[in-house]
Structure 1
């Protein structure tokens, strides 16, 4: 088969075609802030720019679809620092990056600053539960030593501080050990160790801060319901004409959707 024929076959039957066939399923779960067409173009671009990813996706298209579905659910753009598409063995793995976790926190709107830092052996670090925030002093131009831990916290819009999360090196090593293929030279734990440590501590912060735009919508909805309850029912007398047969063809009220 010629190179042109191979290219046509790949286009018509390869991973791009499969992604295109499932476009509606993928874009259906995207949050409102993500444009479906842009998201799809990024997915195609990620495949075309990485021959190894394309080959792995061709062998195992199901793993590619699983990774893309998770990417869409989280509201990230595929093949970016927010959500990596990584060929690993015979499957495509979708890996949310540190930036992706932080983006989800900011996206909720309740937190104005996310602070996450790696702590090294020669840094000055002090924190106890009675302190609002840790004290962390770094000599950026000296040998900071090995990573011994990390911490993260959020600052809310009113200036208050979320719970401070601190992790030590044994916990980092435990998470890494449980990560599949973490010793592989292509693993993010090998290529971007500091970023994976930051992602690990940011994940520990998630339970203590909102991480979704849906949170904002629910807060608005709840506030409106509380306001309506306080106001009480407001019923005005309305003249109603005698019923006709047309009244019985009504399909019922249309349920409204709160738009942010």
Structure 2
């Protein structure tokens, strides 16, 4: 009997020791940032200092209190995603955004690559020599042809260029290859209504406050899908508009966030949490 009790006691002691080595989870998002700053630092590329990146994330929390109401797992997942891409979130650079979003009753953080972030990722591939997006006005000299010998011609009008009628994005590789995407304004309008609930309902969103930038981003995303970039860059573009829930018990998540399950939601588009202008309520992804 004594031997049995001693054996059970030894087993219980070993289990208690194992539990005690687990990292205690903080109670606030700022606490999570501090706790996992080592993992975040290891995910960052050399050109971005961990102290600067941490300050940027802290500033984002201060600037948008709604981020503090989100689940810590989704916030750290978005931060890790931004870190691994080497893009600074929620800064005037416009590279990437941490967006508070009400997803089926739960406030979570949606990570989104910005217009300038897409261009930065393309340039880093080492294959792209030029990439741009432009607006076309009604008085501009603009034409394009598709087929075996695609061409695009655009000479902006001098003086009054008139209203914007179209947008296009193009890239050129170091070897001389190129491609472009063109969309007229009504096509972009249809895209915005289909993918942004806020815009389709007439609520305030970046599609309503910064339509031209969002249109350019849409065209850049389209054209980059055909660019001869590495597979990882294509995956990074596809990681746009996703929620990744960071699980600290999964060691693989520390080194490769592509292994973390994500949940794609409708385009919230960054500016602030989309709200109903009548009631002030946060728009929910039902």
Is the strand fraction higher in 1 or 2?
2
Give per-residue Cα distances to partners, 1:153-189, cap 9 Å, x unaligned. 212224x13222222334322331212433432x221
The residue that corresponds to 1:232 in the other structure is none
Residue 126 of structure 1 and its aligned partner are, at CA, apart by 0.5
Gap regions ≥5 residues in structure 2: 1-25, 234-286
- 1:218: which partner in 2? none
Cα RMSD after superposing both structures: 2.7
Q: Which has the higher contact order (CA 8 A, sep 6+)?
A: 2
**Aligned equivalent of 1:40:** 54
Normalized per residue, the structure richer in helix is 1
Q: What is the TM-score when the length of structure 1 is the normalising length?
A: 0.65
Choose the corresponding residue for 2:109, options 69, 87, 92.
92
Q: Tell me, yes or no, if the aligned pair for 2:67 and 2:99 is still in contact at 8 Å.
A: no
Contact 1:108-1:213 within 8 A present in 2 as well: no
How much has 1:214 moved relative to structure 2? 6.4
Alignment of 1:194-209 (within 5 A): 194-209=212-227
Shift of 1:103: 0.4
- The answer (yes or no) to whether the contact 2:61–2:67 under 8 Å persists in 1 is no
Q: Do residues 107 (structure 1) and 124 (structure 2) align? A: yes
Tell me the SS of whatever aligns to 1:209.
coil
Give ranges in structure 1 of 5+ residues lacking alignment.
Answer: 1-11, 216-260
Give the superposition deviation at 1:132: 5.0
What is residue 221 of structure 1 aligned with on the other side?
none
Counterpart of 1:139 in 2: which secondary structure? coil
Q: Report how many aligned residue pairs link the two structures.
A: 198
SS at the partner of 2:179?
coil
Question: What is the aligned counterpart of 1:120 among 137, 145, 161?
Answer: 137
Report the counterpart of residue 88 of structure 2 in structure 1: 77
1:150 and 2:167 matched:
yes
Once residues 66 and 179 of structure 1 are traced to their aligned partners in structure 2, the CA distance between those partners, rounded to angstroms, is 23
Tell me how far 1:32 sits from its aligned partner. 4.4
Equivalent residues of 2:136, 2:142 under 8 A apart: yes
SS in 1 for 2:145: coil
Structure number with larger C-alpha Rg: 1
1:20 maps onto 2:34 in alignment:
yes
> CA offsets per residue over residues 17-52 of structure 1, 9 Å max, x none?
12222223434433444333322221112222x1xx
Change (3 A) 1:23 1:103: same
1:113 Cα offset (Å)? 1.1
Contact 2:138 2:161 in 1 (8 A): no
TM-score (norm 2): 0.60
User: Equivalents in 2 of 1:72, 1:105: separation in Å?
Assistant: 17
